[in-house]
């Protein structure tokens, strides 16, 4: 289920999960404790993508992160213990 605010957020063209463009800039979001949470709003799409990927690494875990294939491209460092 999405809130009205989330529905107003337009997904970015390269289909990055958890990153969208709204009137304030590029927003990064994810679920924390079962609730949709804004991770930050950024001037550039790249900053928002990095934020989302760091969230995936830190909260979801590398092994099951849905976009782990993008970590290297965006410079997301993964601990060798993950």
pLDDT of the residue at 57: 96
Return the structure tokens found at 6. Answer: 């989330």
pLDDT band for position 32 (50/70/90)? confident
Share of the chain above pLDDT 90, in %: 61
pLDDT of the residue at 54: 97
Strand order in the sheet with 25-32: 10-11, 19-22, 25-32, 35-42
pLDDT of the residue at 81: 58
pLDDT band for position 50 (50/70/90)? very high
């Amino acid at each position: 289920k999405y809130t009205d605010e989330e529905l107003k957020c337009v997904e970015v063209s390269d289909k990055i999960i958890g990153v969208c463009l709204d009137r304030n800039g590029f927003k990064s979001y994810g679920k924390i404790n079962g609730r949709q949470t804004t991770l930050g709003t950024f001037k550039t799409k790249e900053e928002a993508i990095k934020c989302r990927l760091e969230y995936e690494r830190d909260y979801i875990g590398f092994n099951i992160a849905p976009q782990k294939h993008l970590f290297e491209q965006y410079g997301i460092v993964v601990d060798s213990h993950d």
